[in-house]
Amino acid sequence: MEKGFQKAGTAFGKTAMSINLRGEMYSFNTPKLMGIINATPDSFYDAGRNNTKASIKENLEMMAGQGVDIIDIGAFSSRPGAKIISEDEEMSRLVPVLSVARKDFPELYVSVDTFRAGIAKRVVEDFGVDIINDISAGSIDRTMFETIARLQVPYILMHMQGVPENMQDDPRYNDVVQDVIKFLAEKKFELNLMGVKDILVDPGFGFGKALDHNYRLLAELKEFAILDSPLIVGISRKSMISRLLNIKTEESLNASTVAHSWALMNGADILRVHDVKAAREAIELISKLNSFSFTQ
């Protein structure tokens, strides 16, 4: 089958797309759920939750039972001020999660969240990882694009202004929506020229954005349809929610679900979430509403 997204009917009020995943067409005729697995000791929300094989299996089993479609495993904390770790340490954190996922949950699609081309190569070749999720869009490791072109796996292209160490110091934009779209369009074009067709885009909520930048991006999410790529939204329990409402991260599930519902109504194809059950319910409810709204 030819690689690259294809049109596949309509869903949630827009034309659905698909990517080539494990050699088959993977359609976004309904939005998908990407469950977050942090293999880090200093995650902003679930630090240390996946530090043993038993806890990893329990977490994956829970997500699978709640209807997750893809798991996204990250082993390098991208929060400002996080400790810089070596490539070997990043890989050593990934291996236990990948081993459990592949042995016990082979039906789950697996994404690895890394900006290092060496890690991308190792996890795809050694563990058959399905998707690479790069917060830097190839800007930190300049060999990432050529690596993805060789590996020919779907690639998540995310916008970030600066690097994790300084991204929140003083983010500035002429027009945040248009600037982010332009960045993603240029990177996508570069990848296309290298033969990469299976590209998903992520506006990068919280990565080099002030509070109003994040909400402007969310408010105008429909504008990202111009990129003609599956759209990922990652806002689960982020500080853009807790800061606005003056609540703790642990108290932000309800507000995260509200934000997810807005994203679904405005073009999100994948929700990247900590709480699979709540996000699955949001998808099912809005899907039901859309079955009336978009009936021919």
Contacts of 229 (CB under 8 A, 6+ apart): 5, 17, 157, 188, 199, 200, 201
> Annotated catalytic residue: which of 49, 172, 272, 280?
272
**Is residue 57 among the annotated active site residues?**
no
User: Which H or E element spans position 127?
Assistant: helix 117-127
Tokens 């294809």 map to which residue? 6
> 54: which DSSP letter?
H
Task: Give me the torsion for CA of 80, 274, 269, 93, rounded to 10°.
Answer: 60
- Which amino acid is present at 175? D
The answer to whether 5 and 198 are in contact (CB under 8 A) is yes
> Annotated catalytic residue: which of 79, 238, 280, 288?
238
- What's the CA gap between 275 and 236, in Å, rounded? 8
Burial class (CB in 10 A: 0-12, 13-18, 19+), 292: exposed
**Is residue 222 among the annotated active site residues?**
no
Least Cα distance to 120 among 83, 170, 68, 76 occurs for 76
Write out the catalytic residue numbers: 238, 272
